[in-house]
Amino acid sequence: MPFTEAIARSDSREALAERYAPLYRVLEAEAAAADTAGELPCRVLDALRSSGILGAAVPREYGGQGGDAVLTNRLVEQVAGLDPSVSIILFQHFAVSARITEWGTAAQREHYLPRLADGSWLAASAWSESGAGADKRNIATKAVRVGDDWVLDGAKAFTTGAGLAQVYLVLAQSAAPGGGDLVYGSDGQSFYLVGADTPGLAADTSLDLVGMRASATGFVELRSCPVPESALLGPAGKAAEIIASVRESGATLGAVAVGIADAVHRMALAKARQQGLTDNPLTRDRLSDLSARVESARAVVEAAGRREGPNPGLTTLRSKVMASTAAEEICLQVQRYLGSAGFVAGHPVNRLARDVRAVCLMGPTNDLCRQLISAEQPS
């Protein structure tokens, strides 16, 4: 898609900030307390549902905004600058909305998308498992046919939005692996749209996380969980194709990292202004370097959203690695720059530094991203 067309479909950052100002004010006011409590306040959840932001990735015919990855990345970035925990909940909601749009049947789109667009429902991805590895090739969750339907058994870990979502996109092994050479995911795996009220499904948010503490990231257990054939998203046994299409979309967790990096850079700039050091050559150089790194990370995230180039999937993977690595380093530099203030537990720079570390560990992890990039590069 040409960049001019993408911009035509995606609002500017200024317009987005104005449109969602009421939500952003709530996020800013509640972020520190939410991190301390380790849970998302009802006020934040209500503001998120009523803001209209949840429909950004849903086509207009289903009540959404018809946004592309340029738009959703920008929204995730802005939210991350205020509360990264909410930004990853939003990112997962956008991701599931997009998968239903791309792979869902007409009935599935009619059933799910209007509810996901108007904030009635939140969506979450339940892919990861303890001990399965970041590449999702060795999952233990099974899907077994019983008559015309399916029964799911297993346990998912590190599910963002657990206990908050009304629908989960669950990855399960529905047939024996065929021994293919897939790097991420396995053949014989399928995706299922499973309602939170399905018998046998239970969410547990008792994980005490170091970062992203208000993201409701926890476990989802599936015990003899019955789902109809209509819950199957995409072809049976072809989840790896859906997974591969995710990175082609241009939506990237690098947007979360850019939002964090930008917020931390602004803390350093505010400190310099407060101390009257903005004309000091050493301070100017330091701040200029930070600014350049933030804008470089933002540029590669924008490039991923535009899906330009011969291999958009590689750009998406690179954007996640580059932006999250840069944001980690920016957080460390600003902690040092702030001096003793950066060593106080309650200072927001420390919360954001913990949060950005979590981005590096989210799927695909940065190490797995590097492996995927290497696998697709010419030898």
Would you state the pLDDT for residue 180?
59
| Position 42 confidence tier, pLDDT thresholds 50, 70, 90 | very high
SS3 assignment, position 142? strand
- Tokens 């790896």, located at residue: 240
% pLDDT > 90, the chain: 82
Is the N-terminal amide bond of 228 cis, ω within 30° of 0? Answer: no
Q: Decide if pLDDT at 254 tops 90.
A: yes
Would you state the pLDDT for residue 228?
97
Helical pair 312-337 and 366-376, crossing angle rounded to 10 deg? 140
Share the mean pLDDT of the chain: 92
Would you state the pLDDT for residue 5?
37
Q: Decide if pLDDT at 8 tops 50.
A: no
Greatest mean pLDDT among 2-6, 81-85, 369-373: 81-85
* DSSP E strand stretches across 245-320: none
Handedness of CA 285, 291, 293, 299 (dihedral sign): negative
| Position 37 confidence tier, pLDDT thresholds 50, 70, 90 | very high
Q: Decide if pLDDT at 10 tops 80.
A: no
**Contact present, 46 and 40 (Cβ < 8 Å):** no
Query: Per-residue pLDDT tens for 189-219?
Result: 999 999 999 999 999 998 999 999 999 999 9
What mean pLDDT comes out for the span 105-120? Answer: 98
% pLDDT > 70, the chain: 93
Burial degree of 346 (CB within 10 A; 0-12, 13-18, 19+)? exposed
| C-alpha neighbours within 13 Å on the C-beta side of residue 300 | 25
**Contact present, 24 and 80 (Cβ < 8 Å):** no
What mean pLDDT comes out for the span 217-223? Answer: 97
pTM of the model: 0.94
Burial degree of 228 (CB within 10 A; 0-12, 13-18, 19+)? exposed
What mean pLDDT comes out for the span 143-157? Answer: 96
Q: Decide if pLDDT at 93 tops 80.
A: yes
What mean pLDDT comes out for the span 2-7? Answer: 35
| Position 3 confidence tier, pLDDT thresholds 50, 70, 90 | very low
SS3 assignment, position 288? helix
Would you state the pLDDT for residue 127?
92
Helix (H), strand (E), coil (C) string for 179-236: CCCCCCCCCCEEEEEEECCCCCEEEECCCCCCCCCCCCCEEEEEEEEEECHHHEECCC
| Position 38 confidence tier, pLDDT thresholds 50, 70, 90 | very high
